[in-house]
Amino acid sequence: MISIEVVLSPVLLHLTDVTDSNVVVIDILRATSTICTAIHEGAESVIAVKTPEEALELKLKGYITAAERDGAKLEGFDMGNSPFECMNGAVKGKRIALTTTNGTKCIEAVSHAGARNVLSGSFLNLESLSDWLINDNQRVVLFCAGWKDSFNLEDTLFAGALGGLIHQKTGCLIDCDAALMSIDLYECARVDLASYLKKSSHYKRLSHLHHEEDLKYCLQHSVIHEITGLRDGEMKKI
Ligand code: 3SL
């Protein structure tokens, strides 16, 4: 039967057994939104790697390399971590090796933990993702990437949006205080997410780096329908 748990930061992951669960990794700004966009734009796969060196090694195997640290694209890579870099045919049919400050580390961290599925979460495919999880009818763990092991608002808001939607559609019981808090937070902020998030640290960080268009894009709800999940070690359309 479906149930919902929320992990508010990577340092709390060890407290939750993810075995046989559908784990949704959440890095709304921007890694998991970018991964969902890449797959929507026809990329064959995105492999999440921990270090820039690992990404560069994969270039020799034909991957496009993408790297971000502290919000900025790293020198010497084909792409940074902006969803817009995946558009207009740039990634169609391509495999991408992506390394980011938080999101890809979290995908990597759960990839060998015995989860039933590891999925990429984004507001962009919120509705389809909720339907997919409801249809699979298993325990759901919403894993917030946060920022350098700390809690953040945008990932928590998405956990609340997705958890709330599943709860609304199924009436499932929620026995996790982090999930209840996330749902309440989303209810407070949902009328105007962008305005609510203006006070958040990563929103400010990305604004200073002139990524306003990315912020606007990543907060759109249910504009794409593909579900992206881990298959054979890479994030693919499932
Ligand atoms: O932390 C991450 O994984 C990134 O998504 C951060 S950023 O939005 O690219 O700055």
SS3 20: coil
Contact criterion met (CB below 8 Å) for 107 and 235:
yes
Closest Cα to atom 7 of ligand 1: 71
Dihedral sign of CA atoms 76, 81, 83, 89 in order: positive
Domains of the chain: total: 1
pLDDT of the residue at 39: 98
Other Cβ atoms less than 10 A from the Cβ of 62: the count is: 9
CA of 2 to the centre of ligand 1 (A): 30
CA of 4 to the centre of ligand 1 (A): 25
Confirm or reject: Cβ of 103 under 6 Å from ligand 1. yes
Confirm or reject: Cβ of 105 under 6 Å from ligand 1. no
Confirm or reject: Cβ of 154 under 6 Å from ligand 1. no
**Number of the ligand 1 atom closest to the C-alpha atom of 68:** 9
CA 111 remoteness from chain centre:
14
Q: What is the CATH number of the domain that holds 58?
A: 3.90.1560.10
List strand residue ranges (DSSP E) for the chain, in order. 3-7, 22-26, 45-48, 64-69, 72-73, 95-99, 117-121, 139-144, 228-231, 234-237
pLDDT of the residue at 173: 87
**Number of the ligand 1 atom closest to the C-alpha atom of 209:** 10
147 beta partners: 150
Intervals of the chain under pLDDT 70: none
C-alpha–C-alpha distance, residues 34 and 132, integer Å? 20
Query: What is the tens place of the pLDDT at every residue in 26-76?
Result: 999 999 999 999 999 999 999 999 999 999 999 999 999 999 999 999 999
**Number of the ligand 1 atom closest to the C-alpha atom of 103:** 3
- Out of 28, 79, 102, 216, mutate this one to test ligand 1's pocket (max ligand atoms within 8 Å of CB): namely 102
234 beta partners: 231
**Number of the ligand 1 atom closest to the C-alpha atom of 72:** 10
SS3 47: strand
DSSP conformation class of 63: P
CA of 82 to the centre of ligand 1 (A): 9
Confirm or reject: Cβ of 30 under 6 Å from ligand 1. yes
CA of 177 to the centre of ligand 1 (A): 26
118 beta partners: 23
Contact criterion met (CB below 8 Å) for 49 and 41:
no
122 beta partners: none
Cα distances (Å, whole numbers) of residue 136 to 93, 109, 130, 140, 222? 28, 23, 10, 10, 19
SS3 82: coil
pLDDT of the residue at 188: 97
Q: Which residues contact 28 (CB under 8 A, 6 or more apart)?
A: 121, 122, 123, 154, 155, 157, 158, 218, 219
Contact criterion met (CB below 8 Å) for 36 and 228:
yes
What range does the domain containing 49 cover?
Answer: 4-237
Confirm or reject: Cβ of 122 under 6 Å from ligand 1. no
